[in-house]
């Protein structure tokens, strides 16, 4: 398949596998003219499904931009100097992937550290919204007796108390988790270390929501009595802090549930370990743990539309101007740069990994 005109190519643009456009070869190949800057938007699974391989010249320092979702070690090993990867990276919790990207010499821009003028994280926000809302959905399901849970209904019924839900973190995902839990009439408490944010949440939800300032003692007491604990903490680019210790988990009631939204950044529960959509939960100390990485992958249609709405302007900027000029034009996009020419360029990521950090000047 030769790309002649399109600048942005997605899986939907590919011919059917039995099409003559593939020239009948057993192994499909995308041929990209040297003078074009082409944006490939494929998942790693799509590359396997269509049996696509990138031609040899695509691995040389050419001005193409590649975006794979999600980023994985095998994909990183295909990258070369002069190529650009634009996706979620979460390198602070993935040393192997970080080292693979450093070895490749490629330029890697992370969605999760791109910032808006107001300091928000515009490319992390849509997936945080999805994960926050999903956390209550999967938590309620895990609490059902047939799934090993305590056997309580989040909202209770007249004459029966609702379940106690504790949300650690009042950011985007925590707020959306709280909104869903309040909507289901649970007894909801949000914990955060920002008094300003707690005031905002109190103003939004009123008496439907309790707010607690974050201390180790407060978390210990709340976790002990909770039916569902949702970990929604975030430090941009850095590993998530371990707010719930193993000792705290041991005090929880059997059949209680922990949902760790922060697992992509290493998790905020000491007992967390990554799980998959195929096997989403495990039980430790009698407590059900839901620690699925890439939670929004369970609802791909919603997630894809939400993410594309946010990323498309950045993809266009990178395609139109090249990554150097795009970063020079937009300081917020420049903050997304995590790796360039074998060096870590994001201080929080480098600190989390214990590796050297180098400031990159876009202009």
Among candidate residues 50, 58, 90, 289, the one labeled active-site is: 90
Q: At what angle do helices 125-142 and 300-329 cross, to 10 degrees?
A: 150
Chain centroid to CA 72: 13
CB atoms within 10 A of CB 28: 18
Name the phi and psi angles at 63, rounded to 5. Answer: -85, 30
- Distance (Å, rounded) from C-alpha 163 to C-alpha 290? 18
> Rounded distance, CA 265 to CA 93, Å?
5
Q: Give all strands (DSSP E) within the chain, no chain letters.
A: 8-10, 28-29, 39-42, 52-53, 65-68, 84-87, 107-110, 164-168, 187-192, 209-213, 228-231, 257-260, 281-284, 287-290, 337-340, 343-344
* 96 flagged as catalytic: no
C-beta atoms surrounding 325 within 10 Å: 14
- Could you give the CA distance from residue 132 to residue 173 in angstroms, rounded to a whole number? 4
| Residue 264 annotated to the active site | yes
Through-space distance between the first and last CA atoms of the chain, rounded to whole angstroms: 37
CB of 72 within 8 A of CB of 44?
yes
Annotated catalytic residue, options 227, 264, 330, 346: 264
Number of neighbours of residue 202 by Cβ within 10 angstroms: 14
Which residues share a beta bridge with 244? 269
Query: Is 93:266 a contact under the CB 8 Å cutoff?
Result: yes
| Residues recognised as catalytic | 90, 264
């Amino acid at each position: 398949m030769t790309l002649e005109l399109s600048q942005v190519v997605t899986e939907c643009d590919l011919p059917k596998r039995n099409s003559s456009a593939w020239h009948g070869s057993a192994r499909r190949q995308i041929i990209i003219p040297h003078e074009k800057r082409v944006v490939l938007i494929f998942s790693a699974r799509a590359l396997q499904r269509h049996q696509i391989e990138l031609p040899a010249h695509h691995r040389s320092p050419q001005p193409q931009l590649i975006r794979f979702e999600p980023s994985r070690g095998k994909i990183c090993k295909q990258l070369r100097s002069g190529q650009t990867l634009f996706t979620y990276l979460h390198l602070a919790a993935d040393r192997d992937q970080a080292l693979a990207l450093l070895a490749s010499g490629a330029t890697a821009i992370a969605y999760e550290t791109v910032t808006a003028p107001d300091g928000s994280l515009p490319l992390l926000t849509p997936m945080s919204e999805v994960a926050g809302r999903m956390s209550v959905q999967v938590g309620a399901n895990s609490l059902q007796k047939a799934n090993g849970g305590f056997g309580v209904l989040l909202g209770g019924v007249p004459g029966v108390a609702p379940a106690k839900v504790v949300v650690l973190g009042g950011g985007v995902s925590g707020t959306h988790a709280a909104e869903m839990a309040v909507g289901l009439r649970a007894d909801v408490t949000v914990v955060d270390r920002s008094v300003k944010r707690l005031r905002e949440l109190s103003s939004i939800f009123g008496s439907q929501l309790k707010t607690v300032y974050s201390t180790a003692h407060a978390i210990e007491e709340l976790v002990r009595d909770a039916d569902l604990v949702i970990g929604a903490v975030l430090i941009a680019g850095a590993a998530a802090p371990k707010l719930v210790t193993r000792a705290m988990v041991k005090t929880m009631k059997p059949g209680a549930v922990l949902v760790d939204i922060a697992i992509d950044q290493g998790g905020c529960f000491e007992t967390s370990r990554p799980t998959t959509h195929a096997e989403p939960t495990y039980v430790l100390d009698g407590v059900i743990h839901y620690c699925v990485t890439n939670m929004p992958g369970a609802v791909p249609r919603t997630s894809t539309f939400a993410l594309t709405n946010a990323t498309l302007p950045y993809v266009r900027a990178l395609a139109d101007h090249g990554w150097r000029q795009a970063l020079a034009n937009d300081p917020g996009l420049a903050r997304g740069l995590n790796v360039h020419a074998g060096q870590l360029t994001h201080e929080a990521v480098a600190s989390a990994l214990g590796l050297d950090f180098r400031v990159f000047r876009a202009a």
